[in-house]
């Protein structure tokens, strides 16, 4: 009896496997799926602030970073000077062309030898990467509106969002737990 039950189980299992592995006779190939980059954001808010038109924002998002500087630096500089007509240099001592040239290439650099931070008060460490807790929007506002000392236009250099809603975790993926 046990042998008969085992034999029936083997036959049923083999039948199920054979019928579930049948060949697909449909000659229609699977549809090709295309993916499109929606937003580059090595440095947050750069595209949002410096590209005025939707067409420029879209073009920026699909431009290879190595080509972004040449394509967008003049537009970024014009926008910077429209936002801050009195701009001369910023806390990094960057004039308008140097600053917008650095921003127009939307890559996030990372220091392999020193501090990795968006800004820690030391201009040498600025834009050398970023940590989750770096207040990148305030840094960008200071670099745009703060002038050579970083203290000009105090009403324009702080977004008044001073901390994350929840603490970051100490282990990967480091992001705060959902609410």
pLDDT digits (tens, 9 = 90+) for 148-162: 999 999 999 999 998
CA atoms within 13 A on the CB side of 82: 10
Report pLDDT digits (tens) over 17-43: 555 555 566 677 778 877 765 677 778
Residue 33 lies in a domain: no
Confidence (pLDDT) at 111 = 76
The answer to the question of residue 90 being in a domain is yes
Instruction: Assess if residue 25 is contained within a domain.
Output: no
Q: What pLDDT digit, counting tens, does each position of 49-66 carry?
A: 999 999 999 999 989 999
Domain count, the chain: 1
Residue 78 belongs to a domain: yes
Q: Where are the beta strands (DSSP E) in the chain?
A: none
Residue in 104, 7, 121, 21 with CA at minimum distance from that of residue 60: 104
Domain range for 136 is 46-156
**pLDDT beyond 90 at 168:** no
Q: 157: how many CB neighbours lie within 10 A of its CB? A: 19
Average pLDDT over the chain, rounded to an integer: 83
Q: Which pLDDT belongs to residue 37?
A: 59
């Amino acid at each position: 009896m046990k042998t008969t039950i085992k034999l029936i189980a083997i036959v049923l299992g083999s039948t199920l496997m054979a019928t579930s592995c049948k060949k697909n006779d449909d000659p229609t190939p699977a549809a090709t799926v295309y993916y499109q980059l929606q937003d580059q954001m090595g440095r947050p808010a750069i595209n949002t602030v410096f590209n005025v038109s939707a067409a420029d924002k879209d073009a920026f998002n699909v431009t290879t970073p190595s080509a972004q500087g040449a394509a967008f630096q003049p537009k970024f500089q014009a926008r910077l000077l429209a936002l801050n007509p009195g701009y001369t240099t910023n806390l990094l001592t960057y004039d308008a062309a140097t600053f917008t040239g650095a921003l127009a290439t939307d890559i996030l650099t990372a220091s392999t030898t020193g501090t990795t931070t968006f800004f820690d008060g030391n201009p040498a460490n600025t834009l050398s990467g970023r940590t989750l807790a770096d207040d990148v929007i305030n840094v960008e506002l200071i670099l745009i509106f703060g002038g050579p000392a970083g203290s000009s236009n105090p009403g324009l250099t702080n977004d008044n969002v001073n901390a994350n809603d929840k603490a970051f975790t100490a282990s990967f993926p480091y992001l705060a737990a959902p609410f």
